[in-house]
Amino acid sequence: MDWLTPLEIEALGLSLRVALASVAGSLPFGLAVAWLLARRSFPGKSLVDGIIHLPLVVPPVVVGYLLLVALGRRGPVGGWLYDSFGISIAFTWKGAAVAAAVMAFPLMVRAMRLSLESVDRRLEAAARTLGAGRVKVFLTITLPLMAPGVLAGTVLAFARALGEFGATITFVSNIPGETRTLPIALYTLTQTPDGEAAAARLAVISVLLALAAIVASEWIARRMARRLEGRS
């Protein structure tokens, strides 16, 4: 990989790690929330829906600030995590993953919820009459049928996490090798004298990475659609 500079490799690797961790960590929550919103009615549902969508409309800096307040070592949650488990999130790559996950969460939930709502519940009822309990029905019928939506939500969230900037820099700052992801590295270079050429290279890498993610997801989605159409 001698066509990438050490700085670029570091930023790229960190970005991938942060994005993967954020998506992997939020996937089960995304599924659970999508299921709650699509299948359950409970008091305060629209409020929950609104709160989940907030990161789409609130300035990212605000989200980063709120995370810092809550998850910082003196914050209510962060302090408890640090005192009980010695875990520190603020100013680490884990914090960057949390910030990316929160920012990407609405996109993930939205795609999953739409696909869950389109799953034919009569098929689930049919599976129940065949002796399948709720868990088996979810794993063998619901989840496979909503798989395209799960994939779409995951890819969207992954792409969003790769590009996360505002909340990340506010929450975990700009620490080389720890929290300096691709967008933050690019931003740093634009602030540095003679950094234009290196910034341009990072911009190209970012574009290529996003493109690769989209092409890969399209390919998987096509294969999935073929399977779902029953031509396995």
Partner 1 sequence: MIEVDVRRKLGDFTLQASFKTPPGGITALFGRSGAGKTSLINLLAGLDRPDEGRIAVDGIVLFDSEAGIDMPSDKRRLGYVFQEGRLFPHMSVRRNLAYGMKGDGSGADFDEIVELLDIGNLLDRGPRDLSGGEKQRVAIGRALLASPSLLLMDEPLATLDMGRKAEILPFIERLRDELATPIVYVSHAMEEIVRLADTLVIMSDGKIAAVGPVEELMSRLDLRPLTGRYEAGAVLTVTVQGHDVKRAITRLAFDGMTLLVPYADIPVGEELRIRIRARDVSLALSAPADISILNIFPGQILEISDRKDGQVDVIVDAGAKIWARVTRMAVQRLGLEPGKQVHALVKAVAIDRQSLGRRNASHLRGDNNII
Binding site for partner 1 (CB under 8 A): 122-123, 125-133, 140-141, 144-145, 227-232
Q: Which is nearer to partner 1, 125 or 211 (CB)?
A: 125
Please give the structure tokens belonging to residue 148.
């395209």
Q: How far apart are CA 161 and CA 105, in angstroms?
A: 10
Q: Which is nearer to partner 1, 11 or 137 (CB)?
A: 137
Q: Which is nearer to partner 1, 56 or 123 (CB)?
A: 123
Q: Under the phi-then-psi rule, with left for phi > 0, alpha for psi from -120 to 50, and beta for the rest, what region is 158?
A: alpha
Q: How far apart are CA 98 and CA 94, in angstroms?
A: 6
Minimum CB distance to partner 1, residue 13 (Å): 36
Minimum CB distance to partner 1, residue 136 (Å): 8
Phi and psi (nearest 5°) for 66?
-65, -40
Q: Which is nearer to partner 1, 1 or 130 (CB)?
A: 130
Of 33, 177, 47, the C-alpha closest to 112 is 33
Minimum CB distance to partner 1, residue 54 (Å): 35
Q: Which is nearer to partner 1, 36 or 224 (CB)?
A: 224
Minimum CB distance to partner 1, residue 118 (Å): 12
Minimum CB distance to partner 1, residue 111 (Å): 19
Q: How far apart are CA 10 and CA 188, in angstroms?
A: 14
State the residue for tokens 């998506």.
23
User: 106 with 58: CB under 8 angstroms?
Assistant: no
